Amino acid sequence: MNAVSDSLIDAPISPECLVSIVIPVRDEAENLAVALDAFVVQVDLQNRPLDSNIFEIIVLANNCRDNSAQTARDWQKRNSPINLHVAEIALPLKLANIGFFRRLLMNEAFRRLQSNNFQGGIIATTDGDTRVAPDWISQNMSEIENGADAVGGRILMEAAELEKMDERARYFHLRDEEYHLLAAEYECYLDEIIHDVFPRHHQHFNGSFAVKTGVFKRAGGIPEVEFLEDIAFYNALLRIDAKFRHSPSVKVFTSSRHLGRSAVGLSFQLNEWKKLGETGADFLVEAANALEKKFLARKKLRGLWFAAKSNDFPNPAAVSALAETLCVPSKFVSDEISKPQTFGNLLEKIYERQQQNRRWHQQNPPVAVEAAIAGLKFKLENSRSANLSFKIDAR
C-alpha cells in the first residue's frame, strides 16, 4: 500500500471479536515474531487457553526498510488460528510519524469493532518490540468489565535488556520507576480516585493501552500530534472524566532501544539519562512536599467543582485560599468553577495557568530524584500507618 485508504484491512472482522489489537511497526523484523508469539499463549483468568475468536491483531508496517511485513505474514502462516491482519504503508518522511500511524490504526480498529455482533468492544495497542503477558487480553477485559473506561498496563523492562543498559541510564531508570510508583501510592492516600485505587502504577503509554470504543469516540480519538500520542490521548480521556485505570495486573515487557523511532519516548529518555550520568548532573523531579500540595489541592478543587455543579457555590474565602495554594488568580478559579464543564477540563485549565505564570514552579522547585524518593518514603510511612489504623478501627 503506497497511500492512505479508507480502510487498512479488507477482510471482515470476526463477529465474535471483542478486542482489536493494533501494532505499528517500523523496522521490527528482529523483534516482531517474539512479540506476536505472546498472543498464541493467551489465557483467561482461570489460566485456560483464550478463545482466539474474541481478538484480532492488526500490524501496520510503516515506512520499513526491512522485511517486517513479510515477517508478520510468515508468522501468520505458522499460526493460522490467530486472526492477524497485515498492512503496509509508505509516506513522505515529513508525514511519517508515530502519531499518525497509531491514529490510523486505532481508527481502523474502531471502524472494524463497530461492525461486529456487539457493535463495539475494546481497542488495544502495544509495540513491535514488546511482549505482552499471557493474561494481557483477559486482564484488560476484566478491568473494563469492572468499570474502567480505559486501561494503562504496567510496562516493564525485559531483564536481559535492563542488564545490558548503560549503567547510569539504568540507575536513573530505576530511580524514576521507584519515584513514580511511590508517588502513585501517596496520591491514593491523599486523593483516592474510586476507579483507580491502590495498588496502581503511573504508566499510560502505548506499550499497553486499552480503551472502550464508545469512550474512544467520545474523547475524539487520538489527537493529531507527531509523537507522544499516548500522553495526548490520555489527556483527552481526562478531559471527558473517563474512568482510567492504571492496572498492575496488566503487564508487558519491552526493550531498551537507545535508537528510538520517535523524537520523544522511552529510548529518548534513556539517552537523556545516559547524558546526565556522563555529566554528573542530577535528575530533577517534583519534591514530595510539592506532590503533597498538588494532590491535596486537587481534592479540594474537585470538592468545590462538585458543589458548584449542585448549585452550592463555594465560599469565596475557600476559593481564594485554594487559588493561593495553586498559584493562580482567585477570580480565574471562581469563574472556571462556575462554568458547566468536566472536572478534567477544569483541572487542565488550572495547570495551564500555572505553567503560564510560573509562580508554582518558583515556590515548588524540583529536587534531585534521590531526595524526592526519601521524602516520599518518609511521608508514606505515616500514611500507611494511618491507613492501617483506620482499617483496624473500622472492623
Q: Which amino acid is at 323?
A: A
Would you state the cell numbers that stand for residue 175, as one nine-digit string? 530511580
Length of the chain: 395
Same domain (yes/no): 204, 304: no
Mean pLDDT lowest among 193-207, 273-287, 332-346: 273-287
Task: Report which secondary-structure segment, H or E, holds 159.
Answer: helix 159-164
Q: Are residues 95 and 178 in the same domain?
A: yes
Same domain, 231 and 292: no
132 and 104 part of one domain: yes
Within-domain flag for 393: no
233 within domain boundaries: yes
- DSSP single-letter state for residue 48: P
> CB of 23 within 8 A of CB of 35?
yes
pLDDT of residue 312: 84
Same domain for 158 and 178, yes or no, is: yes
Q: The domain containing residue 24 runs over which residues?
A: 19-281
The one-letter amino acid code at 171 reads Y
Last residue of a domain, one of 237, 252, 281: 281
Question: Are residues 206 and 329 both part of a single domain?
Answer: no
**13-26 confidence digits (pLDDT tens):** 999 999 999 999 99
Which tens digits make up the pLDDT trace of 237-296?
A: 999 999 999 999 999 999 876 444 455 566 678 778 778 878 888 999 999 999 999 999
317 and 227 within one domain: no
Domain boundary among 281, 304, 326: 281
**Do 263 and 318 fall into the same domain?**
no
Q: Cell match 490520555: residue?
A: 234
Kindly report the CATH number assigned to the domain that includes residue 163: 3.90.550.10
**Same structural domain, 263 and 301:** no
In a domain, 331, yes or no: yes
Q: What is the DSSP secondary-structure string of 178-224?
A: HHHHHHHHHHHHHS--TTSPSS------TTSEEEEHHHHHHTTSS-S
- Residue 64 has, within 13 A of its CA and on its CB side, a CA count of 24
Radius of gyration of the chain (CA): 22
Where does the pLDDT of residue 5 fall: very low under 50, low under 70, confident under 90, or very high at 90 and above? very low
Same structural domain for residues 119 and 156? yes
Please report whether residue 347 resides in a domain: yes
Considering the domain architecture, whether residues 23 and 62 belong to the same structural domain is answered as yes
Are 270 and 293 members of one domain?
no
Q: Are 98 and 261 in contact (CB under 8 A)?
A: yes
- The DSSP symbol for 51 reads P
pLDDT band with cut points at 50, 70 and 90 for residue 6: low
